[in-house]
Amino acid sequence: MENWSLVSICVLFGLTARWAVSLNSYSGAGKPPMFGDYEAQRHWQEVTYNLPVHEWYFNTTDNNLNYWGLDYPPLTAYHSLLCAHDHGFDFCWVLVADLLIYIPAVVLYSFYLSEGSNKKKVCTVLCILLYPGLILIDYGHFQYNSISLGLALWGVVVLGLGWDVLGSLAFVLSLNYKQMELYHSLPFFCYLLGKCFKQGLAGRGLFLLVKIAVTVLVTFALCWLPFLSDPGQILQVVHRLFPVGRGLFEDKVANTWCSLNVLIKIKTILSTDTQLYFSLTTTLLAILPSSIKLLMKPTLWQFKLALVNSSLAFFLFSFQVHEKSILLPALPVCLLLNDLPLPAIWFLQASTFSMLPLFLKDGLLVPYVVTSLAFLFFSIYLLSAFEHCSEDKLRLGPYRRLLICMPRMDLGRVTKWKFYFSITAMAGLSFMSVALAPPDQLPDLFPLLVSVFSYLHFLGLLLYFNIVQIAEPLQSVRKNQKKSN
Amino acid sequence: SVMATPRADDWSWFPALALGVSFLKCILINAYHSTDFEVHRNWLAITHSLPVSKWYHENTSEWTLDYPPLFAWFEYSLSHVAQHFDKEMLVVQNLIYTSPATILFQRLSVIVTDIVFIYAVKECCRSVREEKGSKDLLGHPFFILAALLLWNFGLLIVDHIHFQYNGFLFGILLLSVARHLQGRHLEGALLFTVLLNLKHIYLYIAPAYGIFLLRSYCFTKDNTDGSVRWSSFSPVRLVALGSIVISVGALSFGPFIAMGQLPQVLSRLFPFKRGLCHAYWAPNVWALYNMVDKALSVLGVRLKLLDVAKLPKASMTGGLVQEFQHSILPSVSPSITLICTLCPTLQPKPHPPPSLALSPPAKFHIWCRPRGARGFLRCLVVCALGSFMFGWHVHEKAILMAILPFSILAVESREDAGIFLMLTTTGHYSLFPLLFTAAELPIKVLLMLLFTLYSFTSLKKLFRGSLLNPLETTYLLGLVAVEILCEVVYPLSPWQHTLPFVPLLVTSVYCSLGVSYSFIRLYVSLLRQHGTDKHKQL
């Protein structure tokens, strides 16, 4: 069958799955007084439609910021204004956004920037579209992550095709939709800077740098146009976007600070300022190796790995991280499905699992189970994950060197068994979270177990992806050219 | 018929297809469900809570038991699992009881019993004829057949959204067909008898089975020209068949005959008090007939030929299930529809002049020149479609009885594929009014696009070239216009409140054109085969 019909079928299937999930319960359904994210979106439409621009981010009598105040950059506000004009079913807008922004980017990525036969590319499209985390959050919990992630993906695709200025434009738009895209900003910066260096700073490189800088500044200016008249406006918006007063973490999230808090109550020991500096330093330390490597070798492969490493490091060490932010590393990991199927599938499943407490709160148990099983089955079957499980294919060379003292074992098989064990444990923990009641002294036992378990996975995978990125030689040998790109 | 050797190697794609559609069914668990959900819950309650003697007398709920006894036993066995989910659903007085556990149980029961359907599809795929020559997996007829059956749009939305147990029932039907294709006729007969005792609507295709089995199974040999050899009649086989039918019937109806409740059961099974057309107007001949009648009466009133006060009040176009009278054209009674249904299939056969189209009928055709199990399958499809076209109180879901078996023929012959595409697209579109909620609109549109796109592209690739002529393509594209008209344009127009049935009317009439056309083409193809047989002898 021709490609276009196969891809259309995959896209239609992906859209059907998404809409079917939206038929279930959503965040905050029937839960006064605060309800949930669905109510937040509805409230923003109200605010942007009825109030003048300079009042959107301020606490006024008409706009109580404590009740779902706007805390995303201006593009989200403009989008809410657009949605407010059509009082149709809100989930339609998520579907439309997916269809116009996220899905075309996925299709273009699979067909132009990934390797393999046409069949493999179609399978990649299907597997990326089946990633449960994004489906459940956007259509179950109800958010518009597909817009910001889609724009970021457009940025990657366009950069991969060689159009640097357009790529940076797409990324800046994405950043102006959700400020969490800052997690991806350092790799974009290092990649583009590295490319400028490669082209020589005296000459074409400098010209490219100037072009990109101008694009970025102009796009920012256009997005923030209504707020530029008054510096007080800009400060207030920034204050809403980065709530540093809220502490190191809220609720249970699978990152270092929350997990550390189990052993040492750092939230109470350190002051807010110390917490801020501490997390800042650790984050910077974690992203440094990956960023430097990307600067020195700005290829698409390095770029993808750097995106993973940077966003995952931010997730694990940064300030005020929410569990939904795991979607930010999940996007670049989706791009790795073709190259490193087993680790990618492992990470994506772990990321979905880490959000289990949120899904249970929203009444999304059945969609969670079904989409996770479907994703696992199809990605393992279609991408032949277990056949690409040799030491070589998984690039476990450095591990082999590190474990030189250990007895000789097939690291590929070890990885496979670890994967089986991990998935079984996730299934078991999911079952226990639903079926068993926690003991009275530890009411948060299961969410805590889920987040610590996920954290260990994320940490291990962060190490793995960093090693894969850094261990790659700077000058690739001729015969390995195809593989390392 | 020649049985193709199945690919001995990789059938791993089959579980993938089956699991994929099962996952889709699972996320549709919380979608809209129709009153059929309450119907089955009520039957679970009746069979669980009441003794057998009261099953066909119980009428606390309006949805009384109107399927044959074997289905009641099926519901009884399900109810034993149901009690572990939610005991309250088994209380007869709990009308319209829809706790989350109830919904989960009922939906899962449909998904799990679909395993019969999945097994039947596998057996059908094994029996599909295949040309030699390596093709990639997606181009093989058995793969296409599996996809067309497992992912059938009509079955998905009727079973897993609207709510019914058709997957289970059609599984038994397809398994019976597969057994006949494989030459295992006794098993096929047993399966069909069981099916008849589960849902009596399959009586419409019982004559096809009866004549085929009598002709091809009881008469063990044919003459050289293919006509019946009376001397080869085997009483043993006839007795075997008869004992199967009788024993299954006894198992099913026996207890009720013993209790003297047979008349009551039959009155529940055949309620002729209902109107000619079901509430939503199945796209058959009667839809066109009603349309003409209505149009004539409106015209008559406008031209002052008729007095409005004298016209019968009960109007079919109200959309309710009632008896009514036609205004101008002669009224249609159940017996008339029965005759019309049998006619295409049982006309006496004159000596056909070679050029004329005066046709031997389908069943007579398999008596005179049986073409093995495939001829039987074709006859079955024609019977099913004929009964859909002319039957009394036909529900548009019944189009599936023609579409599903026809899929087997569609992947083997180019002409059949063309008819299949017409019939399936129109038939599936006619099911749209079943899901009328706004939330389900994207689902039905997306799934319809998915199935239609797949069926067109895969069959086109299989038979290398376009399968439909421009007129047919235009008609099918017209379906898009009808959909936009009914879902978008009409609700915004001023007539939405005064004439709310118009979208249903338009859908029904437009689709009946397509379905009638497919029926005629199918019938013609049947006769043409007979014609080629005759020419072969001359």
Contacts of A123 in chain B (CB under 8 A): none
Q: Which residues, in sequence order, are bridge partners of residue B394?
A: B277
- pLDDT score, position A31: 63
Q: Name which of A13, A24, A89 is nearest B450 (Cβ-Cβ).
A: A13
- Tell me whether residues A12 and B28 touch, CB distance under 8 A: no
Nearest chain B residue to A10, by CA:
B450
ipTM of the modeled complex = 0.89
Structural contact between residues A139 and A22, judged by C-beta atoms closer than 8 angstroms: yes
Higher pLDDT, B241 or B336: B241
Contacts of B461 in chain A (CB under 8 A): 1-2
Which of A377, A409, A415 is CA-nearest to residue A395? A415
- pLDDT score, position B331: 62
- Tell me whether residues B442 and A19 touch, CB distance under 8 A: yes
Q: Name which of A24, A373, A381 is nearest B23 (Cβ-Cβ).
A: A373
Structural contact between residues B25 and B108, judged by C-beta atoms closer than 8 angstroms: no
- pLDDT score, position A479: 46
Nearest chain B residue to A381, by CA:
B16
Which of A432, A185, A431, A439 is CA-nearest to residue A314? A185
Percent of chain B with pLDDT over 90: 44
What is the C-alpha to C-alpha distance for residues B475 and B472, in angstroms, rounded to an integer?
A: 5
For residue B259, report the phi and psi dihedrals to the nearest 5 degrees. -90, 5
Q: Which residues, in sequence order, are bridge partners of residue B219?
A: B233
Q: CB neighbours (10 Å) of residue A158? A: 20
- pLDDT score, position B415: 92
* Best of B10, B135, B151, B446 to mutate (most A CBs within 10 Å, chain A): B446
- Tell me whether residues B453 and A8 touch, CB distance under 8 A: yes
- Tell me whether residues A381 and B28 touch, CB distance under 8 A: no
Query: Worst-scoring range by mean pLDDT, A119-123, B44-48, B371-375?
Result: B371-375
b/e for A57-87, b at 16 or more Cβ within 10 A?
bbeeeebeeeebbbbbbbbbbbbbbebbeee
Nearest chain B residue to A25, by CA:
B30
Contacts of A95 in chain B (CB under 8 A): 442
- Tell me whether residues B450 and A9 touch, CB distance under 8 A: yes
Nearest chain B residue to A368, by CA:
B27
* Beta carbons within 8 Å of B364's beta carbon, 6+ residues apart: B346, B347, B349
Q: CA angle at residue B9 from B3 to B13, to 5 degrees? A: 95
* Best of B13, B27, B85, B443 to mutate (most A CBs within 10 Å, chain A): B27
CA B449 to chain A, closest CA, distance in angstroms equals 8
Nearest chain A residue to B17, by CA:
A378
What is the C-alpha to C-alpha distance for residues A371 and A364, in angstroms, rounded to an integer?
A: 11
Q: Name which of B29, B30, B447 is nearest A16 (Cβ-Cβ).
A: B447
- Tell me whether residues B24 and A19 touch, CB distance under 8 A: no
What is the C-alpha to C-alpha distance for residues A173 and B433, in angstroms, rounded to an integer?
A: 42
- Give the A:B interface size as CB pairs under 8 Å: 73
What is the pTM for the complete model shown? 0.89
Half-sphere exposure of residue A312, counting CA atoms within 13 Å on the CB side? Answer: 30
What is the C-alpha to C-alpha distance for residues B238 and B181, in angstroms, rounded to an integer?
A: 19
- Tell me whether residues B12 and A381 touch, CB distance under 8 A: yes
Task: Give tens-digit pLDDT for B194-231.
Answer: 999 999 989 888 988 888 888 888 877 766 666 667 77
- Tell me whether residues A17 and B443 touch, CB distance under 8 A: no
Contacts of A17 in chain B (CB under 8 A): 24, 27
* Beta carbons within 8 Å of B189's beta carbon, 6+ residues apart: B176, B209, B213, B217, B241, B244, B245
* Amino acid at position B252, single letter: S
Contacts of B16 in chain A (CB under 8 A): 377-378, 381
Contacts of A1 in chain B (CB under 8 A): 138-139, 457-458, 461
* Beta carbons within 8 Å of B510's beta carbon, 6+ residues apart: B283, B478, B479, B482
- Tell me whether residues A23 and B28 touch, CB distance under 8 A: yes
Give how far Cα A266 sits from Cα of A249, A271, A445, A449, Å.
Answer: 11, 9, 19, 19
* Beta carbons within 8 Å of B148's beta carbon, 6+ residues apart: B407, B410, B411, B454, B455, B458
Nearest chain B residue to A136, by CA:
B27
Which of A374, A385, A319, A383 is CA-nearest to residue A352? A374
Structural contact between residues B124 and B145, judged by C-beta atoms closer than 8 angstroms: yes
Residue B320 banded pLDDT, cuts 50, 70, 90: very low
Strand, coil or helix: B369: coil
The one-digit pLDDT tens for each residue of chain A (485 residues) are 788 999 999 999 999 999 999 888 666 566 666 667 778 888 888 888 888 888 888 877 777 777 777 888 888 888 888 888 765 556 778 888 899 999 999 999 999 998 889 999 999 999 999 999 999 999 988 788 999 999 999 999 999 999 999 999 999 999 999 989 999 999 999 999 999 998 887 788 888 899 999 999 999 999 888 888 888 888 888 888 887 767 777 778 888 888 888 888 877 777 878 888 888 899 999 999 999 999 999 999 999 999 999 999 999 998 888 889 999 999 999 999 999 999 999 999 999 999 999 999 888 999 999 999 999 999 999 998 888 888 777 888 777 777 776 677 778 888 899 999 999 999 999 999 999 888 888 888 899 999 999 999 999 999 999 999 998 888 765 444 444 44
- Tell me whether residues B442 and A95 touch, CB distance under 8 A: yes
Q: Name which of B30, B450, B461 is nearest A1 (Cβ-Cβ).
A: B461
* Beta carbons within 8 Å of B31's beta carbon, 6+ residues apart: A20, A23, B160, B161, B439, B440, B443
For residue B233, report the phi and psi dihedrals to the nearest 5 degrees. -65, 135
Cβ-based burial of B481 (10 A; exposed 0-12, middle 13-18, buried ≥19): exposed
* Amino acid at position A453, single letter: F
Contacts of B139 in chain A (CB under 8 A): 1
Contacts of B450 in chain A (CB under 8 A): 9, 12-13, 16
Q: Tell me which long-range contacts A476-485 makes (C-beta under 8 A, separation of at least 24).
A: A482/A115, A484/A299, A484/A301, A485/A299, A485/A300, A485/A301
- Tell me whether residues B457 and A5 touch, CB distance under 8 A: yes
CA A24 to chain B, closest CA, distance in angstroms equals 6
- pLDDT score, position A89: 59
What is the C-alpha to C-alpha distance for residues A424 and A422, in angstroms, rounded to an integer?
A: 5
Nearest chain A residue to B12, by CA:
A381
* Best of A18, A19, A135, A378 to mutate (most B CBs within 10 Å, chain B): A19
DSSP B5: P
Contacts of B11 in chain A (CB under 8 A): none
- Tell me whether residues B24 and A92 touch, CB distance under 8 A: no
Find the helix or strand (DSSP H, E) in which B512 lies. Answer: helix B502-537
* Best of A6, A7, A8, A9 to mutate (most B CBs within 10 Å, chain B): A9
Residue B134 banded pLDDT, cuts 50, 70, 90: low
- Tell me whether residues A9 and B453 touch, CB distance under 8 A: yes
Q: CA angle at residue B475 from B470 to B479, to 5 degrees? A: 140
- Tell me whether residues B28 and A2 touch, CB distance under 8 A: no
What is the C-alpha to C-alpha distance for residues B201 and B96, in angstroms, rounded to an integer?
A: 26
Cβ-based burial of A246 (10 A; exposed 0-12, middle 13-18, buried ≥19): exposed
Max CA pair span of chain B: 74
Contacts of B12 in chain A (CB under 8 A): 381
* Residue B346 pLDDT greater than 60, yes or no: no
Contacts of B30 in chain A (CB under 8 A): 23-25, 366
Nearest chain B residue to A365, by CA:
B27
How far is residue A283 CA from its own chain's centroid?
A: 17
* Residue B451 pLDDT greater than 90, yes or no: yes
What is the C-alpha to C-alpha distance for residues B307 and B310, in angstroms, rounded to an integer?
A: 6
* DSSP helix, strand, coil percent of chain B (3-state; round to 5): 70, 0, 30
Instruction: Please give the structure tokens belonging to residue A237.
Output: 């918006």
- pLDDT score, position B322: 40
DSSP A442: -
- Tell me whether residues B446 and A16 touch, CB distance under 8 A: yes
DSSP A178: -
**What DSSP assignment string belongs to B49-118?**
HS-GGGTTT--SSSS---S-HHHHHHHHHHHHHHTTT-GGGG-TT-TT---HHHHHHHHHHHHHHHHHHH
Q: Is the peptide bond before A33 cis (omega within 30 degrees of 0)?
A: yes
CA A6 to chain B, closest CA, distance in angstroms equals 8
Nearest chain B residue to A11, by CA:
B450
Residues of A in CB contact (< 8 Å) with B are 1-2, 5, 8-9, 12-13, 15-17, 19-21, 23-25, 89, 92, 95, 366-367, 370-371, 373-374, 377-378, 381
What is the C-alpha to C-alpha distance for residues A161 and A153, in angstroms, rounded to an integer?
A: 12
Q: Return the sign of the alpha-carbon dihedral for residues A53, A149, A36, B438.
A: positive
- Tell me whether residues B458 and A1 touch, CB distance under 8 A: yes
CA A333 to chain B, closest CA, distance in angstroms equals 23
